Structure formats: structure tokens, C-alpha cells
Structure 1
């Protein structure tokens, strides 16, 4: 179906090329607005009403667009409304964490067609792509979705990701770094790859807590620490695609060794991994705590959620541990605030479940280290949909690329 293919190497000329681009624009407008009239679409794409109706008929014949009833009358006949068919275009969105991945299949209304599937894998798993492919195909089979109706596959993953070429430079084995190439060969679809924190930021910007905020910092606070930036109403990737690596800035001059190979990175002070490490140390020392009572004989089972739950029950050790990492992150964020002057900071990830036990120390540190004129109006919030925002971010990017004139 040429309408959803890359025309970079196609020989479309004259009216064929014009109509191709007009149809793409119609699909893009319907994706962004849900339902629109032919009159409105004709004005937006700069053609006569009969031409717009003809293009919509073609799209209907391709089972991409359907009639959605009638709109409100402004004195004449009620306009016919058009929208994208829910069962016509699907994408497969994947998001990797440090120890597992998530897969969701979405339709063109950004709706999940089945519950998200969790896969045990990582960026360095040599079988990563095969695992994702097998799980995705099973989701399609279970939900009676034709693979030919899947037009794109996206991946959000930790690491230094070049989103233009789909290369993750953090993957240890160089032969496996070109993730886009591996996905394309296995799935045979259009592919988009980007950093997980940036896709979570984009998901929050389009669908979540950062919506309608042109300058936002979105924090992905999990086993590692990721930062995504929305600047001037656009996702900011940086000149080489690696923007937002606050986690690997120096925090302690002679600190712990980080997974990046350097010492004293912010991630070695504030991540969920560090929270668990310090909690385990306290338990081994026999400090008075609910955590010691519960986990002294099964310490390897301790999870970030256990520390957070203990804090919410008033456990002083748990509160202190969360306060420490909150203060450290707040201090580091102060530099970001002074440089970028955002109007909102959105916090997601497993550590965000601590809510006020991290929000309070973060705010205290910002008050201490920032100029009040810069930080005074910043809103700091916990995302209420962080578990889905990364998948939604990659989904939105996939549909935008599908409906653009060309894609790389």
C-alpha cells in the first residue's frame, strides 16, 4: 500500500505525488483531531470540496477512513464527519527497562488492543528482537489482527540512542547496536528507535501531565535515571541525539563506580538501585526498621516498593533513605532549572510512587539551590500514567512518521 510506504525511492510525479501528499495530510489531520468534515479538510489541504471528497472516497476504499455521522449545522445541511477506522492501522510499540521489556499493540486512536505484555530481556540480550517479535505476533494472533495491518514498529530503550539512525551506542556488543536495522530485518516494517526517557517525555507532553506545557522536564526514575526535555513545545534530542543525560553528570568527585564506567555520577546517588543498596546495608547493620524485621533473612527479595510502603507506614529508616535521594536529585535538578527555566517537572518511574516522601525533599533542595525568580513558578508533579507514557510516546511518533510525506 503505497500510501503508507516510504516514497523516498518511489517515482511519483505530477498529480499522483500531489494526491499522495494530500492523502497523507488528511490521515495526519484525522489522527490529530479524531473527526473532521470534508469542508474543513478541503480548506486545510488547499483543494476544492469535490476533490477532498474524492480523496476521502479513495481512503475509504483502502479501509483507512470511515464516515462518523453528521456534525452540527451552521445554517445549511449537516456536514458529514470522517475519522480513521479503528481496525485499519496498527503499530507495535516496545519499551525496554533495565531488566524487562513491555510490548503494546495500538490502533490509530492510540488505544491498546490488548493488555501490555511483559518480556524478560534487556538491551544487551542477543535474542532481544526475536523475543519481541514472537510476543508481538502472539498478541496479533490472540486478537485476530492481520499482520498486514501493522505498519510500524517502535522501540524506546535506555542508553545513548541515535534516533535518526536507530543505533544504541550503550549496547556492549557493537554488532548488535544498530537496533533499527535488526528490527527492520525481523519485522519487515517501518521502524523508529529512541531513548526511553525521551519517549516517556513525549508521551507526557502529548497525552499526560506535561500537555499544554511548552517547556518541561520529565524524569524517568527507575533502576537508573533518565531525563527527557520538551523545549519550545518540541521534544529536544540535542545535536547528536543524546540530550538529557543528567544521570551521568558528576555529583560526587570520588563517588561509586557507575555503569557508564565513570565515578560519582548522579545515578550512583539517586537511582532505585542505590536506594535498595543502602536499604540492604542498613538491614545488615541491624538498624531498627520494619525493613529489618521483614527482610533480614530474605534480603535479596527487597524491592523499591517495599521501602516506599514502609515510609508510608511511618518507618524512619525508609523515610530517611527516600529523603536522601530526593535531596540529591533536587540539588542536581537545580542546575537544570537555572539553565532551562521549565514551567513543569513531571516525575515518573517506580520511585515516583513515594509521592510526598520524594517531592518534599526535592522542593526543599530546589528552594535552597535555585534563584526564587526562576524556580518560584515551577510546578512539580507525579505522573499518574508513567507506566504507559513511554509506550504512548513511541506510538505517537510512529503515527506521525507514517502520516508524514516521507520517513527515514
Structure 2
């Protein structure tokens, strides 16, 4: 047994996958189109494998049968290690079963590659140590799956990060609850009509790191108090991700899209009580970062500090492009639509004289309806002087506030369509090429 970052590394002997499996297609979709730079990119992730039936009980590895107690008090980490080794080395389809019960696990890394496309079935509950002092030092994550291609983590149980005693410790390096590293063709799913839950993480709940690709997240529930700091629901820094039919209620971004996020579709997400759906923050410490080809559709955002937000630091560079926010319902959201290129959470930043070199282009806001609850602008676009936002489209946005405050549109141009409430002013006229393109699509721009 190896030690990786003071976590237990569950690393079996590696070997090639031997199963032949059928493919489950992922819905194809296209993000907002634009003629300004290059043709719109179809966001069509490679189909994720569908796991065939297991060929007998010999391919199911129950953690109880391998020494787990499941009483919520006994350390069951070693039993999970045994089950992982057996399943990962099994030729043919294999399943690790976490049955009903509460299984206490210390920080653990489930290491691949494996011989097959594993199913990690969570019917019971997996819980972390409550006392931060019980955790090894230097840990950045509680549960990690590393280099496991074709993995499915599914079930109707929950993963409880026991973050309550971490949240007040601002100087602590708080761990992520569930992290995936270099996992291709990954599925994170509810099952049996129930959602798989991740709750009360000390820090971010789920992280899909760079080098993960072709990921499906469906029927997931993420829950922590609105007062829990930095508890992002799903943090993404990878490509070809499809998130659907899930709910997140937490103390920070429901979903945060970091550098390297590309070809991301978010559909039918219920986002509550936190900071909304965010691209960024990007460009911190003069970094060059890119996010592109993002589609957020059919989502519900309630009692949130923000609705849909793009946030960048003033000193960075890079690109945010081809982004679509469509059919978003908002209820009592403080700041519904935001582009902020002067992001500074602690108000002690260098604003670089407004000269950010991170370009934001081809962003569409359409069919956004609901209510906002503060005397702030419903639409706030504060873009770079040096690299203004271009090809911004706002159409059919109808938001009702308790008080109406003028919109902010600084250094931004594009198309202001019909059916806009409250009134949006200050959006500059887009290029002739851009406006001609929209006209052919039947979009009428009123700021021309």
C-alpha cells in the first residue's frame, strides 16, 4: 500500500481493460453561435460507456464481506482498500458495493488504472472524521479517484464530509470532499430513483480536475448551509462535461468553471442559497486562462447572491468565449446577470487601471425571467477598457425588482434585443458583421 499525500493510495496492479461494452450516447448541443471569430463549435462529448450487466455475484465486491463494519464509528478504510484491489484487478465487469450502513473513511485515494470499467455503488453512507485534528496534515482531498477510466460512481446514499468543524478555521487548508483526477469516460449518477448526495464538505464538494474528459453528472444532490464558506458545489477544470437533473444548495458557487473548462453543458440544475453559476474567477496573479464553449440551460436559481456570473481579475489575460445562458428562472436573486472584470473579493486589489487583457466575447443571455431582491442593477457588465467585451447578446430578459436601478454596461458592445425589463442602457452597437449575422437569425437589435 502506497502513501500519496498522506492519504491511503488504493493502487492495484495495473493492466489493460478487457471488457467490451456498449455506448450510451450523450445529447449533442451547440452553444451560442457567432461569426466574429470562428464558426460556432458543436459541443458533442464522446459517448460515455454504458455498463453492461455483471456476470455473477463473483464480480460484486461488498465492502462488508471484506471487513467493513458500517457502524459509523469503526474505521473501514482498510476494508475499502481490499474491495478496491479485488475489483480493480478483476477481469470483466466489476462492482464495489457500499451497502446500507454508515462507513467511516479516512482520506483515501482510489488509484487506477484498472482492468475493467468499475462501478462504485453507494447505497449506504460514507462519512469522514468529524475532528479536523484527526486528519493527516497536508491533505487536499478526502476521497480521490485517480487515473480510473470508465468509472461509474452511483447510488442513492451520501458522502458526508463533516465540514462543520472546518468552516470556522480560516487558516486551515480545508480538503475537498470528492475529487477526480485524470478520469476519462466518468459517470457520477444517482440510481434507483434517488439522487447520490455529497454534503457538508470542508471545502469544495466535487472537483473534476484537468485531464478528466467525457464526464456525465446526473441526478446528484449537493447540500451544505448557506453560511458554509467556499463550499462550491461542482468545480470544473476540464473538457466535455455534461451536468443535468441535479440540485445544489450551498455557501458559494453552485458550479464554478475554472481555467481549462471547455465544452461544458449544464441543464436542469436547481441552484439555491449560494453564489449562483460562475465562470471564474480567472486571471489571478497575472495568469493567462481560458474558458470556452459553455451552455447553461433550463436552470433555476433561488435565494442566491448572484445569478449567472463571469468574474475575472483585472491583471490577468486570456479568453472567455462562446457562452450561452438560456431559459434561466431566477427567484429572489441579488445580482442576476454579471460580468465583472475587476473581481476583488477583499477590496485590496490592483485594478490595473481597467486594462485587463482577458477578452470576453460571444456571450448570449436569453429567456431569463424572475425576480431580484436588492437595489442593484439587474444587468451589470463592467468590462476591460483595453479589451472590451464584444458580441454580447441580451434578448428576452424580464426581471422584476423591488427597486429599479439603472443597468451598468461599461466597455461592452453587441445586441440588445426585444423584451427587456428593466431597461438596459449603455450597451454599445456591435460590429456590422455580428449584427448582420443576428439579423439573418431573426434577432432584432434595438441598440442600433
TM-score (norm: length of structure 2): 0.25
Rg (Cα) greater in structure? 1
Q: Which has the higher helix share?
A: 1
Greater relative contact order (Cα 8 A, min sep 6): structure 1 or 2? 1
TM-score (norm: length of structure 1): 0.27
